[in-house]
Each structure stands twice: as C-alpha cells, then as structure tokens.
Structure 1
Amino acid sequence: MPRFALKIEYDGGPFAGWQAQANQPSVQGAIEAALARLDPGFADGARIAAAGRTDAGVHATGQVAHADLQKNWDEFRLAEALNWHLKPAPVAIVAARRVPDDFHARFSALERRYLFRLVSRRAPVTHDRGLVWQVLQPLDAQAMREGAAHLLGLHDFTTFRSTMCQSASPVKTLDQIDIEEVAMPHGREFRFTLRARSFLHNQVRSIVGTLERVGAGSWSPERVATALAARDRAACGPVCPPHGLYLTGAEYPDDPFRD
C-alpha cells in the first residue's frame, strides 16, 4: 500500500481538535471522511496519523499527516481530490507527497514549530477575529523576551503543562522562543515562535499566557524563572485561549515537502 504524506492547513475554530472523537467534529475526521470517498481502506475505517494533536480551536498552517492508500495516486490529483471532498470544511491539503513506508508523521518528526499571535489594542479586531488572542493593555516586548530567555534549553516544564498531560516526562528541551513585534492600526501584534522536538499538553499556551503577564507589568521577567523552578502548576500564569495558536510545521530527516 503506497504511503502518502499530507501537508494540511485548517481553521480550528469549528473543530473539537485534531483527533477524531465520537459525536464531535474533528480535523482528522474530516480528512478521513474525504479519504473514504476515494479509497476502499478508509471506507472500512483506516486511520491517518499526524505530527501533532492540536486542541480544540487551535489552527495549523503546516500540520503533517500520513495515510496508506490502496491506489497509487498522482500526488497533485490526490491533493485536488481531497480538497474537493473536504468542502466546505475550513481544511485544505496544501500538498501530497509519496513517501517511504517507514515514514511516520509523528514518530519520524525531529521537531515541531508553533506560532502564537497576540494583539494588543483597545478596538476589537475584525478581520482576525478568532485567529488572534486580543488584550487591551500595552505590552513590553523586551520584558517578555527577558522572561522567555529563562525557558530556553532543557528543563522540567511541570509548571507549564496541563494536569491532564499524558506525556511520560515533563522534561523537554525548548530550542527557540522568539517574539516579534509588528505595528498594526492603533495597536501592536506580538508573534511568538516556538520550536522543540515535542511539546507538553498546553505548554505553548501556558508559556504565552505567563509572558503576557510579564509584558503587562504584572510579573517581573525573573518571576518566570521562579515559576519554572517551582515545578508546580499553581505557579503558572493564566493559560491563554487556543485561537491565537498555530501549528506551523514539522521537520523530518528527509522532508517530503522541502521543494
């Protein structure tokens, strides 16, 4: 059975998350339903695997999944056919690539990348409603960068993970956390870019919610280090909402989408 990797974009707003759930709309379920129109295996209940299981309301611009199909599709035609059958769901197959049988969207990934969009402005956002987290107060980007620096590297991130996290260990290495400040009409947008081999449940949202408190002046940058060292969920700042978060990509030893 030929294996195909799929690069996927989606608006997470209408979905209960990536993972298929009984009686709940999911991104995985939408793609598998489209595949069932094209492939007998999926009509019989075959499943796809993804690089990351995004939560309800979280978006993606570079989710990666793989599917084993019975037909050896032309890559372009597979993407076109899936996009046709995905209508009108806000899900798009950006590209499809034939990959070796040992490629696995989750277990072959060397890293995941996330973007969080935070807007600071008094007037409500209109065009980006549901796509950014908006706060009303001004934020200090440099203070947030100083707080974020304490989180880089190998740490026990117990403070910054959900109590429902199923990861075997809270110890992770955060390879990158950059904060870009962008002017917008009557406000500022702050774009947080985070990169790691893997993330804990709610880790990114916990980090950004905490750094927002630093930017607002409620926390000092040094308090982030204190919270991290506490290894206590109660020491975390507020967890920010999901609709500002995007899974932007996954890196592989031989990236099928590099071209």
Structure 2
Amino acid sequence: MAPPSAAPRPAIPSRSSNNRLDRSRRAAPQVFERLRDLITSLTLPPGTPLSRAELAAEFGLSSTPIRDALMRLAEEGLVDVFPQHATLVSRIDVRSAEQAHFLRQALELEIVRLLALSPDADLVAHLYDLIAQQRGFAKNGDLESFMAADNEFHAALYAAADKRELWVLVRSRSGHIDRLRRLHLPSSGKAQDILRHHRLIARSIGEGRPDEAQMHLRVHLSGTLSDLARIRDLHPNYLAGSPPAASRSQGGPADG
C-alpha cells in the first residue's frame, strides 16, 4: 500500500543547540527522546517525513542509531514506516489516546487516594512549587515548558507513591494523548483550568481528603477527550480517520 502524501518538512532545530548528544550515553535513546519530544510537541506534525540520512547528518551519527530510534518511535505508534519508501510522523490515533487515558486514570486515581490517606507536607509544598512554575510559563505563553511542568507535577505523584516504574509505563503509552493535549492547550482558558485542577488536587492531598482528590483528578484528566469533537473540527488532518475537510463541509458522515 502506498504511503499517504507527506506534509512539508519542518526544520529540526540545529545540532549546534538542542541536538547535541551526551557522548557518555548511548546515542539511539537520546535521538529517540529528542524526536519524541519534537513529535509530541507538534514541532514535527503528523505527516512530516523523517529521512534517515538527514537525521544522521543532523545528529552527526551513523544510520544505525537513527534506525533504532525510529524503530522505537514506530513501536509507540508515533511514526509510520513504509519500507523502501518513507518514514512519516503518524496521525493521532484517537483509540490509542483513549487507551492511554484509561490506563493513566486508573493508576492516578489510586495514587492520589494513597497520598491523601497519608499527607506529606514536603510533597504538597513541591506540588505548589511546580504549579507556580506552570503559572509563570502560562503567563509567558511558553506552552512547551508549561506541558513539561505539567508532566513533572504528575511524575511527582508517582514518585511520592513509590510508583516511578508505572510513570515510565504511562509515558511510553502517552504519545497520542499528549499530542491531543498539545492541540487542546491553546484553547481559551485551558491552561487556567489545568492550574486550577492541580491546585485542587494538591490541596485535597494536603488536607487528607482522598475522595476529593480523586474527584478533582478525574475531572482534570477528562478535559481533552471531552472536547474531542472540537479538536477534530479544528485539526481534521492531524487525527487518524478524520474525514477530509471538503466532505465534512458538504455534510458527509461524521467520524465515530
């Protein structure tokens, strides 16, 4: 089967800055992490072609670590590999996003309950520090740093509950939901909603209110998927299975 048409190729930031590698670490995991960040932040949007030769030149590597990094991205469903033809950044798979949301919600509901049953003042202070950082990023319009701080907030919950390995598992399944979240983040009031939910979760944990912590977490995690129809309308070409804009405008069948 022929691959879909590729999107114009955005420039990958120069190796002179963000793409420098730590020579004390294996190269392939670093390339994977860098490309994954670029994909989940939508710097490399769905449909972007990824050339092994160009990536090897950009990172100053042989083709082998580039191939290994692309294979890991394919395992997470973040790229589509068409042998002997092209590797493209995948479109956002809504079903995969829903699966990741279910996993994350199931784990974090139990984690916040566990933490609220034994409140830790140091943890709560750390959570409020992260919220303050997020507030500053939101004020400056730095959405990438805002999302990174958002992940740090949730990672802190897993760490406090001694469930760090589960956070690694969640992150490995979250590429599609993270891209949906990134599409949703610029919506009016979205960043403020995230900050408010984080404050409510932190307060409930600090006050030893497990039921409230779970309630606020459930609302917090459901925000993006509950607005899926609008995200699809705004970004039809980014989501897998989205009907072409022309057919939608002519009253074609809606996507399920």
User: Which structure shows the higher strand fraction?
Assistant: 1
Q: Which structure has greater helix proportion? A: 2
> Taking structure 1 as the reference length, what is the TM-score of the superposition?
0.27
Point out which structure has higher relative CO (alpha carbons under 8 A, 6+ apart): 1
TM-score normalised by structure 2 residue count:
0.27
